[in-house]
Amino acid sequence: TPTMPVKTERVAGPAVGLAAGVMGGITGIFAPLVAVYVQALQVEKQVFVFWLTASFFIGGAVQVLSYYRLGLYNNAILLYAVATFVPVVLGTRLGFWIQDRLPGPTFRRLVLLLVLASGVNLIVRYFS
């Protein structure tokens, strides 16, 4: 598991945020960087899930609004994007329920495996 010394958090946080924003703007995917960064902070699993969920929500909202402003989304697609909020909230609640029942070390391993899987998926998609 990567770790982050406390004294580097002041620089690393904004740098990861900027890099994730650029990556999200280029590819639409910013989550792996944010997940690895928050994981490196070694926060409790509830705090980890809160910050990751918050960043997904904010990042997703920014993407939807940006695409709309750029003319990539029309009103109907914008409405569909906003309507996904309901299943996202339900899925988030289910995710909180599951993570509450996982031991800390198992939770951290699953998070790293999911980040690894998403990275491998991006690489495979790139080369196929």
pLDDT of 19 reads 93
- Find the mean pLDDT for residues 61-81: 90
pLDDT of 1 reads 63
42 vs 19 pLDDT, higher one: 19
pTM, two decimals, is 0.68
- Find the mean pLDDT for residues 81-86: 86
Mean pLDDT over the full length of the chain: 86
pLDDT of 124 reads 92
Neighbours of 122 (CB within 10 A): 13
In the chain, how many H helices and how many E strands? Answer: 6, 0
* 74 phi, psi to nearest 5 deg: -95, 180
pLDDT of 99 reads 87
Integer angstrom CA distances of residue 26 from 33, 44, 54, 60: 14, 31, 21, 14
Render pLDDT for 26-45 as a digit per residue (tens, 0 to 9): 887 887 788 888 888 888 88
Spatial separation of the C-alpha atoms in residues 78 and 83, rounded to whole Å: 9
Using an 8 Å Cβ cutoff, are 96 and 88 in contact?
no
